[in-house]
A = this chain, B = another copy of it.
Amino acid sequence: MSVITLTTDFGSGSPYVAAMKGVILSLNPAATLIDISHEVPAQDIRCAAVVLDEVSDRFPGGTVHVAVVDPGVGTERALVFARIGRQNYVAPDNGLLSRLARRTPPAKIVRLTEHDYWLQPVSATFHGRDIMAPVAARLSLGLDPDHLGVPLERLVMLDWPEVRLGPGRIEGSVLLVDSFGNLVTDLGAEVLPGFPGAAQARVFCRGHLVTGLSRTYGDSAPGSLIALVGSSGRLELALVGGSAAAAIQASAGDRVMVTWPEI
């Protein structure tokens, strides 16, 4: 089992991604390399943190996920290995793993300090290639992460907005705008009113109101703004056949409120 995934803000088609893959394959030619995304907006740590939290659990246990959104490269920020659930992560300790760690406390965190596992020389500006890629390759070959450096107690945690629950009312935020323009929120299905009560739910975002929760996109007419529990198990706002983000000018961080009559 040697799956290694890559998540970066380098852009699709960036030769920097290819350089990391070359380094990994030079150390472990049998690694299976998977791109999670290279379209994270430049230096958008929060977006990458949400993407990792959405997707990485789907991979086989023991997968090594390398995440490089690293505006502080070459400064004093740490690089870390973390085991969270069944998955392994190699990333700068700048909040990239903080959505994952908020949900599941890491079973192990190691600060990467052992130079022997790195490329030499290490450039000051591309630790993805010179440190994270070779470390991931060696982990995929079975290296014990304890050899990588010194244990850390906790990861750097970003301040993520809290979901507020009240009687007949919950408030949350847009976490992610997907490529269809759907607004994926942090409101899990478990806090939403179930069907049939859902028909009377009112969803507010950016001054727009949606009444009732839909089951899927195809149940409403094109151009309708709808709310539904999406594939991530959380509330989404969607425009049927279009982009909700464009239609209501919403983006990550915008507040979303759901109210419903108490039954």
Query: Are B29 and A218 touching (Cβ within 8 A)?
Result: no
Indicate if A12 sits at the interface (CB-CB under 8 A): yes
Indicate if A160 sits at the interface (CB-CB under 8 A): no
A14–B51 alpha-carbon span in the complex (Å): 9
Q: Which of A44-92 contact B (CB under 8 A)?
A: 51, 54-60, 63, 71-75, 77
Q: Which of A16-60 contact B (CB under 8 A)?
A: 16, 18-19, 21-23, 25-26, 29, 32-40, 42-43, 51, 54-60
User: What chain B residues lie within 8 Å of A130 (beta carbons)?
Assistant: 231
Q: How many residues of A contact B (CB 8 A)?
A: 65
User: What chain B residues lie within 8 Å of A11 (beta carbons)?
Assistant: 39, 179
A58–B128 alpha-carbon span in the complex (Å): 13
Convert A237-263 into 0s and 1s, putting 1 for each residue whose CB lies closer than 8 angstroms to a CB of B. Answer: 000010000000000000000000000
Indicate if A111 sits at the interface (CB-CB under 8 A): no
Chain B binder among A97-105, A119-127, A139-147? A119-127
**Contact partner, A10, options B35, B40, B51, B179, Cβ 8 Å:** B179
In chain B, what residue has the closest Cβ to A10?
B179
Query: Are A233 and B123 touching (Cβ within 8 A)?
Result: yes
Query: Are A74 and B124 touching (Cβ within 8 A)?
Result: no
A178–B141 alpha-carbon span in the complex (Å): 32
Query: Are A231 and B126 touching (Cβ within 8 A)?
Result: yes
* A13-B179, A29-B32 given; 17 more Cβ-contact pairs under 8 Å: A12-B12, A13-B35, A14-B178, A15-B51, A15-B54, A18-B37, A19-B54, A21-B34, A21-B59, A22-B34, A22-B56, A25-B59, A26-B59, A42-B180, A71-B217, A73-B217, A125-B216
9 closest A-B pairs by CB: A74-B216, A13-B39, A22-B58, A126-B231, A11-B179, A75-B218, A22-B59, A18-B36, A124-B216
